[in-house]
Structure 1
Amino acid sequence: MKSNRLSLIVLLCATLFMTLFLAGCGKEDATKNGTTKTVTYEGQNYTVPANPQRIAVLSNSVLYLLDATGGTAIARVNTNDKLPEKLEALPALGQTANINMESLLGLKPDLVLGLDSQHSKYKDQLNSNHIPYILINYDGVNDNIPLMTLLGDITNHSDQAKQQIETYTKKVDTVKAAIKTINPAKVAVLRATGKGVTAETNLAITAGMVKDLGMNNVVLTHLSDTTKDKTVPYSLETLTQDNPDIIFIVTMGKEEDITKAMEKDMTSNPAWNHLKAVQNNKVIYLPSKLFLLNPGLQTPEAMARLVQDAYGITVDLK
């Protein structure tokens, strides 16, 4: 009897071992067969479907680049800007900063692409629904090429991504070449909203492009190298002392509110009219579409506009 009982125990143990072994082999084989893959972005690895078919995108800035690099999305977010027809036809998931998670989950995405600054609050819901996601740091124009590379890797369209990167780089180089012999302008980049006026650091979109174009941003003389803010307080008194050749003004919000803020902080003061940029008609208001948010593939065109406004040089990017 003891012998039979012992044999039964041995048999059960052997069966359990084989079950666990085969389960482990099955998991390993799934990876080898390509059900998932690992992609790297900004030094971090992400496990994503090997061939994602249902990518939901929570930022239209990322959506444009995904489309340009050969990827296909199943959703977008609302925007006031005109989208290409095929992107406009996608179901909308609400505003970038306020995603309708019920709609998102109902689409059953196999991958979600969002922005770390906007969508970290949805991590728990995505995790609990076992949906892979990548939340991207997409702040400056220098993020464009790494992001296109990532999207090409995700969608298995690396060749198309490389072509886009090559075209993009060539255009940026064309803009820079047009001013390589020009004495750099001294500029101030202001951010005007309904709440007031601040100045941009190199971490902001327009000031970042100004830096890449070799212009001198006067606000940097007042900052430490460790500054991590995109905008900083900046008074008319300080602007008067810096007295730049050009004042770029990036706007955000309603025109009426922006005008009131500018009047309160800057233009209603007589000192405003004594600024070199004002006297030379070099106060330039820039549209938010290209200069508040990352312009993505339109970055070369945005940089060309800055060159045109600053130096009167037209750059042909065709």
Structure 2
Amino acid sequence: MKKNIFIYLLIIFSLILTSCSNKTNNQAMQKDAADKAFEESIDLKGINSGKKSEEEQGKKIIMNSVALANIAAKLDIKLAGVPTTRLGKMPERYKHIYQIGIAMNPNMEVVKTINPTILYSPDSLKDWLDEGLEKHKIPHKYVNLRSVDSLYSVTKELATEFKKLEKYNILKEEKEKFFIEYNKKISNKTKPKVLVLMGLPASYIVATKNSYVGNLIELAGAENIITSDKEFEQVNLEYILGKNPDYILRTAHAIPEVVNQMFEEEFKNNSAWQHFYAVKNNKVIDLNSKIFGMTASFDYTDALEDLEKIFYK
């Protein structure tokens, strides 16, 4: 018994020491690439050449996320502006609409030029956007897109505002039909224990059930080993080792090519990860960051089907 405890403490020490060392090295290696990608100059003048803004019932609407643009497309809402993106999939119908730059750091001069009636944005971007939106007096509203249910709440709100309830009701019926079939497939299955890592350039955090990815894990019938009232938590290696999840799922918040490299370096160079059941059994899965992101989207059906295959087949 004492021997087991001693081994356990050695592993904990190894986890903490190795992780701190590797994280410092990895952050140094990745920071330049991340900064370069984030600060990359976007030639909006060139991108917006020949593009236009459209009005919906006399209102100029900017959707400051791909997820919100997809909601607008589902409801057949005309837009005046959309974000510039390389990660998400912008609906084809908005390819001719003015772009305002990346969602976390939109070009406020371009936003002002559009002169929107309202700019909608996920509330997860509030800390990045508040100062600029207030300074330039841009009318705006933040919405919650942290779960599938909140996705439909926002969709209903927009459908009501822009008289598109008929289209919303169709979407709602499709959702209900999907979950009836999906829940049948996963019923009576053994719930796996899951750790979800959300990668940021040069670092990573743990996604709880209050994040969108965490919500997907729960809907797929699995157990998130991290219980918290927060959306994300810092990595607590001692706690994670004690829970020893069946699966470790990894996804990227932004710049996936940088984040994926960071994860590879971390799991390769930090020998502490080799103590985890999920690593020993090849159950470390890199999720498609286009559908496993920070905000809910109608791709949730694809995401849940992916999780069903991972957990139960």
TM over 0.5: yes
Match of 2:84 in 1: 78
Question: Equivalences for 1:21-170 in 2 at 5 Å?
Answer: 51-80=57-86, 81-116=88-123, 117-118=125-126, 119-125=129-135, 127=137, 132-170=139-177
Cα 1:233/1:278, change in 2 over 3 Å: closer
Look up the equivalent residue of 1:78 and give its one-letter code: T
Rounded to whole Å, the distance in 2 between the matches of 1:254 and 1:290 is 12
TM-score, normalised via structure 2 length: 0.72
Deviates more, 1:55-64 or 1:152-161: 55-64
Cα 1:231/1:57, change in 2 over 3 Å: same
Rounded to whole Å, the distance in 2 between the matches of 1:293 and 1:152 is 23
Rounded to whole Å, the distance in 2 between the matches of 1:55 and 1:190 is 34
Question: Equivalences for 1:1-318 in 2 at 5 Å?
Answer: 51-80=57-86, 81-116=88-123, 117-118=125-126, 119-125=129-135, 127=137, 132-220=139-227, 223=228, 227-235=229-237, 237-252=238-253, 253-255=255-257, 258-261=260-263, 263-264=265-266, 266-312=267-313
Rounded to whole Å, the distance in 2 between the matches of 1:210 and 1:249 is 12
Contact 1:201 1:232 in 2 (8 A): no
Cα 1:269/1:93, change in 2 over 3 Å: closer
User: Displacement of 1:143 after TM fit?
Assistant: 1.2
Look up the equivalent residue of 1:121 and give its one-letter code: E
Look up the equivalent residue of 1:165 and give its one-letter code: K
- Would you tell me which structure has more strand in proportion to its own residues? 1
Cα 1:260/1:101, change in 2 over 3 Å: closer
Look up the equivalent residue of 1:115 and give its one-letter code: P
Cα 1:281/1:58, change in 2 over 3 Å: same
Deviates more, 1:266-275 or 1:201-210: 266-275
Rounded to whole Å, the distance in 1 between the matches of 2:164 and 2:210 is 30
SS of the residue 2:109 aligns to: helix
Between the two proteins, the alignment pairs up a number of residues equal to 254
SS of the residue 2:98 aligns to: coil
User: Displacement of 1:67 after TM fit?
Assistant: 1.4
Q: Deviations over 1:46-77 (max 9, x none)?
A: xxx99444222222211110110121112111
Contact 1:210 1:217 in 2 (8 A): yes
Match of 2:20 in 1: none
SS of the residue 1:197 aligns to: strand
Rounded to whole Å, the distance in 2 between the matches of 1:233 and 1:274 is 16
Higher relative contact order (CA 8 A, sep 6+): 2
Look up the equivalent residue of 2:311 and give its one-letter code: A
Cα 1:51/1:296, change in 2 over 3 Å: same
Look up the equivalent residue of 2:62 and give its one-letter code: A
Look up the equivalent residue of 1:124 and give its one-letter code: E
Percent same amino acid at aligned positions? 21
Contact 1:188 1:246 in 2 (8 A): yes
Look up the equivalent residue of 2:300 and give its one-letter code: T
Q: Deviations over 1:247-272 (max 9, x none)?
A: 111234354554345544x4434443
SS of the residue 2:131 aligns to: helix
SS of the residue 2:85 aligns to: coil
Aligned residues: CA RMSD: 2.6
User: Displacement of 1:229 after TM fit?
Assistant: 4.0
SS of the residue 1:189 aligns to: strand
Match of 2:13 in 1: none
Rounded to whole Å, the distance in 2 between the matches of 1:260 and 1:273 is 17
User: Displacement of 1:142 after TM fit?
Assistant: 2.6
Contact 1:290 1:299 in 2 (8 A): yes
Rounded to whole Å, the distance in 2 between the matches of 1:269 and 1:54 is 51
> Structure 1: 5+ residue runs without aligned partners?
1-48, 313-318
Contact 1:148 1:165 in 2 (8 A): no
SS of the residue 2:199 aligns to: strand
Cα 1:67/1:190, change in 2 over 3 Å: same
Q: Deviations over 1:102-137 (max 9, x none)?
A: 32232233333223333333443564xxx6532223
Look up the equivalent residue of 2:216 and give its one-letter code: M
Cα 1:69/1:270, change in 2 over 3 Å: same
User: Displacement of 1:304 after TM fit?
Assistant: 1.2
